[in-house]
Each structure stands twice: as structure tokens, then as C-alpha cells.
Amino acid sequence: MIIAVDGPAASGKGTIARALARHYGLPHLDTGLLYRAVAATVLRDELDPAQEADAVAATSFDDLLLADEWLRTDEVGKAASVSAHPLVRSALLQRQKRFAMQPNGAILDGRDIGTVIAPDADAKLFVKATPMIRARRRHAELQKCGSTVSLDRVLSDIRARDDRDSTREQAPLVAAPDAAVLDTSFLSVESAIQKAIALVEAQLARKRTTT
Ligand code: CDP
Ligand code: CDP
């Protein structure tokens, strides 16, 4: 069973994907971390994220890096614009497809799971929330880590990231036509998780009756 969870920054897709992984006992991959690992490697090697060749060279990053907290910082998040390079996306494609094809299945979250990585997924969710609510969530997380960045700044970064992810030519952020859309704007974490499970169950039931 493959479950695809897509959505913009701070929509809650990671929280939902982790909860679904626990609920169904499936392995989970946060694909954003792969792009962040490429970005971190480019920064560490003092290369230029805007140069496709520099970013492609960084796709053979050391897997140990995936556990590094540095990957979750804003600095690395900005350099994750390496995701717009088509050759970076194709270099990371097989790794994500392999993860999805594990014997019992898998849950992947990102931007293009339901559209590109696993277009035949058994269930697809597109998680969204308003930019202001997403900015408030991100701002609260940053404050917890001691950051003094303003809410306005976080909001403009979120808008810039949305714009960058939605307008790139290859694998833009868009809901797959067969994805169930889940707006978490006014949902608690717990209710968002319950709704996500109900939406997945409905898709699985529909699939069972048509096959
Ligand atoms: O945590 P946040 O939602 O801010 O970002 P992330 O999921 O860690 O992803 C970082 C960046 O990687 C995103 O802004 C996207 O540009 C890119 N990404 C992508 O292009 N495709 C994916 N499947 C996952 C992430
Ligand atoms: O993975 P993504 O960037 O889409 O978001 P996340 O890391 O799952 O969630 C961002 C923040 O929003 C976390 O601090 C969550 O606890 C919070 N949140 C949520 O995920 N869902 C809600 N319904 C409310 C808050």
C-alpha cells in the first residue's frame, strides 16, 4: 500500500504522514529532507545552489547527513531551491521510487509524490492551509528554537517558497487530480490526523470496490 501526502510548507503534511505511518505500520520518507540534504552539501562545499552542475554534484550526499538538525534550518531551507533544477530532481527520482516500492508499501510526503513519484498510489492526500496560518505555525516553531525572526518575515518566506514550488517547470506543487484535499487551517493536530485517516480509508474502500 502506497500513500502519497503532498502540500506546501507547514501545511501539516509531515505530521500527518508520520501519524499515518504509525497507524498503518508503514515506513515513511520525508522527501523534503533529500532536497535539504543536497542544499546542505552545496552550502558546506561552498558551492552555488543556483548552479545546476554544483547542485547535481551534491546529490550523492552522505546519508548520515539526513539525521543532521542543520537540515531543518532556514538557511538550508532557502538553499533547497536546488529542487527547481530538473537534473537534481531526476537524480533523486529512483531513490524515492525505490522507497515507495517496498514489499509492504510506504508513505512518502513532499510536493510531487502523487503526481510524479507514485502516480499510482493507493491513497493520495493534498494537505493545505492558508499562508498566514502556515506562517504562524512556522513562526512558533522558530521561536521555540530561540529565533527572533518576525512573523512578517516568515510569511514572506512562505509566500516566496509557495511561488517557487508552484511555478517551476518540472514537477510543480499541484494537487493530483485524484487526491483528497485536506484543509488543516482550522483543525487541531489530532483532528487533522483523524480526518486524514478517514480520507485514506474512503479512498482504499473505493479502490476495493472498483478492483
Ligand atoms: O518543511 P518545508 O515544507 O518548508 O520544506 P521541505 O518539505 O523540507 O522541502 C524543502 C524544499 O524541497 C521545498 O521547498 C521544495 O522546493 C523541495 N521539495 C520538492 O521540490 N519536492 C519534494 N517532493 C519535496 C520537497
Ligand atoms: O511537513 P509540513 O512542513 O507541511 O508541516 P509540519 O511540520 O507537519 O507542521 C508544521 C507545524 O504545524 C507543526 O508544528 C505542527 O504541530 C503544526 N500543526 C499541524 O501540523 N496541523 C495542525 N492542524 C495544526 C498545527
ipTM, 2 dp: 0.96
Asked if 5 and 28 touch (Cβ cutoff 8 Å), the reply is no
Q: Ligand 2: which of 18, 71, 137, 161 to mutate, judged by most atoms within 8 Å of the beta carbon? A: 137
State in Å: Cα 14 to ligand 2 middle. Answer: 7
Q: Whose CA is nearest to atom 25 of ligand 2?
A: 189
Output the ligand 2 site: residues, CB below 6 A: 7, 9-15, 137, 141, 184, 187-189, 192
Q: Are 85 and 55 in contact, with CB atoms under 8 Å apart?
A: yes
Give mean pLDDT, residues 22-41.
97
Q: How does pLDDT run across 98-146, given as a tens digit for each residue?
A: 999 999 999 999 999 999 999 999 999 999 999 999 999 999 998 988 8
Please give the average per-residue pLDDT across 67-71, as a whole number.
93
Confidence of residue 210 (pLDDT cuts 50, 70, 90): confident
Specify the pLDDT at position 73.
86
Element housing 92 (H / E): helix 86-100
Q: Quote the DSSP letter at residue 50.
A: T
Cα 163 to ligand 2 centre (Å): 20
User: At the topology level of CATH, where does 2-196 sit?
Assistant: Rossmann fold (3.40.50)
Q: Would you say residue 211 has pLDDT above 80? A: no
